[in-house]
Amino acid sequence: MIRAGIIGGAGYTAGELLRLLLGHPHAEIAFVQSTSQAGLPVAEVHENLVGDTSLCFTDCADLESVDVLFLCMGHGRSRAFWEANEMPRGLRVIDLAQDFRDETCGYVYGLPEWQRERIRQARLVANPGCFATAIQLALLPLAAGRQLQSEVHITAITGSTGAGVKPGATTHFSWRTDNLSVYKPFEHQHLLEIGRNLGLLQGTQPTINFVPLRGDFARGILASVYTRTELHEDEARAIFCDFYHEASFTVVSQKPINLKQVVNTNKALLSVEVHRGYLHVVSCIDNLLKGASGQAVQNMNLLFGLDESCGLRLKGSGF
């Protein structure tokens, strides 16, 4: 069994990670650290786990006792954690924050559809951001085929869980419900990893215009991505199908897609169409699963030589 530890266990991504690991046939949870909830039963904070675990949060972490460590803290805190703690030799680490997504300090960027073999050989993995996952999956086949020759335009909408568990003015129910709003247009932090990776893959830096929106639902991301193309629709779809033919969770649909098809799953669905010289790709993921904790478990499976989909065959509700 893979012994797993979690640092920063009180948030949404940690809650989903706990749910997945508790049902994983080859993993067991050694500890769940949370300074704010230390001493409390995990199921008192993550109420969906009532009856599933008797674990309690701890304020300390025995890093020598685990095979893999998941860092589920806020952005910027992972580097501080390693400044204050010594990393045991041989420990595998999966960081869900943005601290090492530039692949510094020996981390490998953990998008399996792009870097599966590198992840298998890695010890340290930087889990991608949620918007970054949805958008890169829509663009990776084009970058790999040197097809991003014009500006890319993206509008993407995310659920309220993307803002984290800490309450804020724009996550309050009375503000969020029946409402839409734009935030961080053209300057969202995930543009850094998106631009870096697509530039590495294509060899030239694409121009990416990204407008994120807050949705009035809890979970999921739908990204609408378009750019000029000289490809015919069947050619474009063939490029995507070829690129993802070995992907465990990324599926190119022959029909229009919607968010409910992926919520509560680790799937990414893509639709590919060409309209009047524009290639239009729609990408849907669950921001907490394929956009965070599900992808983290997918990376754990790769690190330990397991089937990539182990513990992740989750069925969406669909209605």
Per-residue confidence band for 316, with pLDDT thresholds at 50, 70 and 90: confident
The whole-model pTM stands at 0.95
| Cβ(284)–Cβ(290) below 8 Å | no
pLDDT digits 0-9 by tens, 167-197:
777 877 888 899 999 998 999 899 999 999 9
Write out the two tokens for 34. Answer: 């949370």
Q: Write out the H or E segment, with its range, that includes residue 237.
A: helix 233-243
For helices 294-303 and 112-120, angle between their N-to-C axes, nearest 10 degrees: 30
Angle value at C-alpha 310, between 306 and 311, nearest 5 degrees: 140
Mean pLDDT within 299-313:
97
How confident is the model at residue 169, as a pLDDT? 78
Average model confidence (pLDDT) for the chain?
A: 95
Is a pLDDT exceeding 80 seen at residue 166?
Answer: no
How confident is the model at residue 173, as a pLDDT? 84
How confident is the model at residue 101, as a pLDDT? 96
Write out the two tokens for 127. Answer: 């889990």
* Dihedral of the alpha carbons of 94, 96, 97, 98, in degrees to the nearest 10: 80
Per-residue confidence band for 305, with pLDDT thresholds at 50, 70 and 90: very high
pLDDT digits 0-9 by tens, 8-32:
999 999 999 999 999 999 999 999 9
Is a pLDDT exceeding 90 seen at residue 318?
Answer: no
pLDDT digits 0-9 by tens, 205-257:
999 999 999 999 999 999 999 999 999 999 999 999 999 999 999 999 999 99
How confident is the model at residue 204, as a pLDDT? 92
Residues designated as active site: 130
Residue 199 and residue 52: Cα distance in Å, rounded? 44
How confident is the model at residue 215, as a pLDDT? 95
